[in-house]
Structure 1
Amino acid sequence: MKSYIKDSKMRSALKGAAQKIEPTLSLGKNSITPEFIEAVREYMEKHELMKIHVLKNCIDDLRELGNTIAERSGTELVQIIGRMIVLYKPAKEEKDRKFSL
């Protein structure tokens, strides 16, 4: 898969921006479903950065979850902090990109 994050400076900027946003989706005991992946794709069409809250009743490994969601949705895993997964995908139009450092 193509990497959208160019360097550590960009990853650091994305992490900082992620601190300011609220989680968009929650992932529970049903884990990853096709509907969940579709919701991630739809959200990422309009936004570049997304935060997903993994509920305590989800027993899957957070790193595996983050990598699987990123792979299936065409996004890139920025970080996992606590029970939060942060994903990034640049806007299609160059002029709409907020994080093209």
Structure 2
Amino acid sequence: MNLSTKQKQHLKGLAHDLKPVVLMGANGLTEAVLAEIELALGHHELIKVKVASEDRETRGLIIDAIVRESGAEKVQTIGKTLVLYRQSEQRKIELPRK
């Protein structure tokens, strides 16, 4: 699912007040972190993930891996915080038309 600019803007607005629900620790991207992201996406559809990496390149690689492994859409990245969206079967968030 590719999000249009209009849809991303809508999701950014919804994500503004959210707190990160998944915090990556010093161990990096582990199976447990991926499982927690899966669980959170299934429950909320729109989540924030805090990526704990000081190196910008490493953080970018971790973010790419999270997006690839979760099958979610990257809405935006602000510093160390990643906003992800993946539509669930219940469709809790109505997106504007493309």
TM bucket normalised to smaller: 0.7 to 0.9
Gaps in structure 1 of 5+ consecutive residues: none
Please name the residue that 1:55 is paired with.
52
- After TM superposition, where is structure 1 displaced by more than 2 Å over at least 4 residues in a row? 58-63
Q: TM-score, normalised by structure 1?
A: 0.82
Gaps in structure 2 of 5+ consecutive residues: none
Q: CA RMSD in A?
A: 1.7
What letter corresponds to residue 37 of structure 1 in structure 2? L
Question: Percent identity among equivalent residues?
Answer: 26
- The one of 24, 29, 39 aligned to 2:21: 24
Please name the residue that 2:95 is paired with.
100
What letter corresponds to residue 93 of structure 2 in structure 1? K
| CA distance in 2: counterparts of 1:63 and 1:82, whole angstroms | 10
- The one of 66, 81, 84 aligned to 2:81: 84
DSSP-derived class of the 2:23 partner: strand
DSSP-derived class of the 2:76 partner: strand
Q: TM-score, normalised by structure 2?
A: 0.84
- The one of 1, 8, 11 aligned to 2:8: 11
Residue 36 of structure 1: how far off its partner (Å): 0.7
